[in-house]
Structure 1
Amino acid sequence: MNFDSIILSAVAAELNSRIKGGRVDGIHQPSPLDMVLTIRHGGGNHSLLISAEADSPRIHLTSVKRPNPKTPPGFCMLLRKYLAGGRLEGVEQVDFDRILHLKFLAYDGERLTLVVEIMGKHSNIILVSAEGKILGAVKPVGRSKNRYREILPGRQYLSPPPLNKVNPLAVRPEELSHMLHEAFEGGCPDEKRLASWLKDSFTGISPFIARELAKRSEGDTGRLKDEFLALFSGVREGEFLPVIISDDKGRTVGFYAFPSLQYPEENQHERPSICTVADIYFNTALPREELEDAREEFLSRLRREMEGRKRSIDSMKETLQEYQGAERFKEIGELILSQPSLIQPEAESAELTDYYSPEGNTITVSLDPRLNAAENAEAYFKKFRKALSGAESLKEQVLREEGELGLIEKVLKSAESITKTEQIEELRKVLLERGIQTGKQEAAGGKAKPEFEGYRIQKITSGNWEILVGL
């Protein structure tokens, strides 16, 4: 379950309630894209986790202690330089988008903003000065990656480009009525169409909340208007009722800022804090989902590898069946040598008596017209030796493939009961020792594209100035 704008709004409200005015006592970077700020407030410490991971970007208070690297990364050192000892003045959500501004007053009186952008693979954590200049980012973005919006020290911070949608917190009842009439002309669309329209028309409405509103309205646009206004009035007023969502086995499968009609009521459990339910989900359900995904991906690769081995073995056994006729090449060579007078110069074939046949039948033997009788016989002996050698080599290969197939079948059986991702890596290593690759192939390395590739631009640096000249 992803962080959408409603969840982010609930998080902002909770952070303002619980840690606004607190002092930054510690800053750590436990992983390349995760930051943990320790905020001292109300006589206790609060750990604020901010993650820019593509598959699970988020921000919330956490109770989980994470190990930190011995040497702090550069961005961690930058935040310590500017924010350590400062105070959190407040948390603001930008235009109901998935962007939070954490406002800090540094110990030297400077005002700074830590921008948290929760946007999938484009998520980022950016420190911005009071003048709007970028001081640093957990994921720097150069011109070669984004020509509209560079995220580099010294550049002016620009918000992500607007999507030209309506802010649901600012829409007036009459405006919403007009939008609904224009879209559906007083008709009763189905829930799928309603959800699609909501998602495409309003800022911050995720597929989840679009389906929720469509389900609550049951295809009635009048009812949708009432449900829409009531829901976003609650968001505007900070009225949230966080729930942790479980499946029928009691396992956590999601969370949200309020109960949902999309899950059975008995599977939704109220909690007083959005940060609490987010922390539970991301530290229980998410690791389990990641394990299940990793295990299924590993099992799929094993099954494909196993099927490939079976096809290869079947093919080699068919070839071995063909090699069983190799003895005939030797016999034909000997027949040619025993009846040289029947081999005419430049003949493409010859009629020879088959002494190896009980009946002594006459057979037609193919010849190479460029060769004499002895050379044609040698050509058949060569085919015999090659087939014999190939058969021996193929038998060894079949035995090797069957051994590897047996190993893969054993690993497949073990993998079905895996309970930790580390076990997958251990099984991969077992297979890799036998030359069986089951991991993702690394992309071939290559040189990064020049910053202005495709443009006739010359960059000149002089002192603190960078001059770009179009040629």
Structure 2
Amino acid sequence: MAFDGFVISNLVYELNNTILNAKISKIAQPETDELLFTLKGSNGQYRLAMSASASLPFLYLTDANKPSPLTAPNFCMLLRKHIANGRIVEISQPHMERIINFKIEHLDEMGDLCQKTLIVELMGKRSNIIFCDANGRIIDSIKHVSAAMSSLREVLPGRTYCIPATQDDRLNPLEVTEETFWDSAMTKPLPIAKALYTSFTGVSPVVANEICHRASIDGDMSVDSLTPDAKKHLYHNFAWLMEDVKEHRYEPNIITRGREPVEFSCFRLTEYVGSDDAVEATNSTVATDSAGNAGFAGADANESEYTMQHFSSISAVLEQYYASRNVYTRIRQKSVDLRRIVATALDRNRKKYQLQEKQLKDTEKRDRYKVYGELIHTYGYGLAEGAKELEALNYYTNEMIKIPLDPMLDAKANAQKYFDKYNKLKRTYEALTDLTAETRAEIEHLESIATSLDIALTEDDLVQIKEELIEYGYIRRKRTDKKAKSKSKPFHYRSSDGYDIYVGKNNYQNEELTFKFATGNDWWFHAKGMPGSHVIVKSGNDELPDRVFEEAGRLAGYYSKGRDNDKIEIDYLQKKNVKKPNGSAPGFVVYYTNYSLTIHPDISGLTLIE
């Protein structure tokens, strides 16, 4: 996915048509590296989200709001002090860089009109949001970069702002002539596509390969292999694309393969869908499931061909892709400690389980020692002194066997020796049988917690999982800590036929749904033989349509350990037949009669209520 200079160009054009001259009504900082502006202008109210996350930087218009911390961070307070109620008077992109400059007019403490600049750099791990005065001096930034952190430039209060000198040798593609194109890109001993994106600012590998494809040239070929006519044809395709940028002829789209998004762009990517025969779905609906994964209406999951999904704006494209990825990335970062604790406990218990199984296997020969002792008692009266073995008829199998003996012991002592071995292995077997079952149950419990961490979407979801880990001794509760209260609730879906379906996010919610919320004739669903959510369909004592069973089964498959599998077997039965074993962990149940169905864990098209 390429957030390149061309996508930025499309975004700047869109922002100029929507929020230029808008007033900054609210400024929030929901995350340490993320800002959310509420803007009011002649075109209505907008929200502008921007992030300088090293892993997922973005900027787009959105309708969604995000909760902010009770105490605003310092950078947020600084922006509120200077530009709250300010007006955005200019939005620009310097030289096709991955940078957007917002010039903002506001009144200072004396009531005089002043101008500040908010600079959003969307450059991967070097991303930043920098606030400067009218002279280009840095007032502050969302990330401070010292000389010890970067040899390219410092980003600190009081320093003069400059664009990082990482692409000084690259040309602005909008100003390139045919002569400079030949002199810069066509003289490099590189593959053609690489020569393009290393020669011009804002050109990503995706755009470089698209230009080559439009020119019917293999981008992996060397520049030296091109004939003069081929180079000229390549330049013409390059120039035509730059003309589209100058004339603002954009086509915001996402390329999908089945339901999976594989690329996005502000141009038609003919290398994926061709120039005329693309399967398009203009103004189609794009659904997002509760875990933030995109589902694209009109795309057949069984097709292997690429399709292009059109969007009305580049913000819609970016929000569709980055908002879902952002939720996933944030929650992964916040759950890393819990994941490490669960992974460590799982590893320890799996090793213990393997050792117990090995020891349990060693006890399988206990009955042989018992038989040896009995046979020595039966036939040992005729043993010669110092005998090393006894050959006797095993009256259990009617076969002759040889029994090893200790020549230093008599028959009675040899028999007792085997009985002692038998009794020791018998005691070991009885103890290990219980211990192995306990270890297996603990592994299943930890695997269910690991699945809950994969399902979690908010910090409230993590609070309940942490509380479970504390309750079972994996985390020690501090003396000053009180039992945490969580606002997390199960997912609530509505089926195509109007029936309410509830999905537990963790073991506590599974327990609550199954044994306190559901009634006897409600239907209960769960992925067979793997950790996952309990899914409850509120039947209202109705006979449910087949489609409801299928949709609930898809939810049970998706919210399980096997969500990436192509097919999953789902067990389902009425709740009254689900029982809870005494002393078992939360969310663990048993049942003895059930129905089964096999589904593909795809929940696109299902309506999430809350």
Bin for the TM-score computed over the shorter chain: 0.5 to 0.7
Q: Is the 8 A contact 2:254 2:261 kept in 1?
A: yes
2:409 paired with 1:396: no
CA distance, structure 2, for counterparts of residue 292 and residue 204 of structure 1: 27
Q: Pick one of 211, 214, 218 that aligns with 1:213.
A: 211
CA distance, structure 2, for counterparts of residue 148 and residue 34 of structure 1: 24
The more displaced of 350-359 and 208-217 is 350-359
Q: Match for 2:404: what amino acid?
A: I
Q: Pick one of 133, 146, 152 that aligns with 2:150.
A: 146
CA-to-partner distance for each residue in 1:326-358, whole Å, 9 max, x for gaps?
356678899799999967xxxxxx725578967
Instruction: Give the TM-score normalised by the residue count of structure 1.
Output: 0.66
Aligned position for 1:299:
none
Aligned position for 2:139:
135
1:321-340 alignment, distance < 5 Å: 321-326=361-366
Change (3 A) 1:181 1:46: closer
Q: Match for 2:209: what amino acid?
A: R
Deviation at 1:115, TM superposition (A): 1.4
2:280 paired with 1:267: yes
Aligned position for 1:240:
249
2:239 paired with 1:229: yes
Q: Is the 8 A contact 1:27 1:35 kept in 2?
A: yes
Change (3 A) 1:432 1:208: farther
Q: Is the 8 A contact 1:57 1:123 kept in 2?
A: yes
Aligned position for 1:98:
98
Q: Is the 8 A contact 2:51 2:57 kept in 1?
A: yes
Deviation at 1:216, TM superposition (A): 0.5
2:554 paired with 1:417: yes
Aligned position for 1:256:
265
Change (3 A) 1:291 1:316: farther
Q: Match for 1:258: what amino acid?
A: F
Q: Pick one of 360, 366, 377 that aligns with 1:320.
A: 360
Q: Is the 8 A contact 1:34 1:51 kept in 2?
A: yes
CA-to-partner distance for each residue in 1:90-141, whole Å, 9 max, x for gaps?
1222332211222223312443221111122332212123444433222334
CA distance, structure 1, for counterparts of residue 587 and residue 148 of structure 2: 41
Aligned position for 1:37:
37
2:404 paired with 1:363: yes
The more displaced of 261-270 and 83-92 is 261-270
Aligned position for 1:464:
none
CA distance, structure 1, for counterparts of residue 250 and residue 532 of structure 2: 44
RMSD in angstroms over aligned alpha carbons? 5.1
Q: Is the 8 A contact 1:342 1:352 kept in 2?
A: no
Instruction: Give the TM-score normalised by the residue count of structure 2.
Output: 0.53
2:42 paired with 1:28: no
- Structure with larger Rg: 1
Deviation at 1:178, TM superposition (A): 3.3
Aligned position for 1:50:
50
Deviation at 1:208, TM superposition (A): 1.6
Change (3 A) 1:276 1:377: same
Change (3 A) 1:351 1:102: same
CA distance, structure 1, for counterparts of residue 82 and residue 183 of structure 2: 48
Q: Match for 1:40: what amino acid?
A: K
Work out the number of aligned pairs and report it: 402
Change (3 A) 1:379 1:165: farther
Q: Where does the alignment leave 5 or more consecutive residues of structure 1 unmatched? A: 296-301, 344-349, 436-471
Q: Is the 8 A contact 1:309 1:405 kept in 2?
A: no
CA distance, structure 1, for counterparts of residue 311 and residue 164 of structure 2: 26
Q: Where does the alignment leave 5 or more consecutive residues of structure 2 unmatched? A: 218-229, 285-309, 333-341, 449-528, 536-552, 564-583, 589-610
Is the partner of 1:417 in helix, strand or coil? helix
Q: Match for 1:259: what amino acid?
A: R
2:139 paired with 1:126: no
CA-to-partner distance for each residue in 1:231-286, whole Å, 9 max, x for gaps?
22332x35232333464879987653233313353426489xx9952332344455
Query: Quick one: higher RCO (CA 8 Å, sep 6+), 1 or 2?
Result: 1
CA distance, structure 2, for counterparts of residue 234 and residue 366 of structure 1: 98
CA-to-partner distance for each residue in 1:383-409, whole Å, 9 max, x for gaps?
655533332233224434665659862
Aligned position for 1:66:
66
Q: Is the 8 A contact 1:113 1:130 kept in 2?
A: yes
Aligned position for 1:450:
none
CA distance, structure 2, for counterparts of residue 361 and residue 420 of structure 1: 56
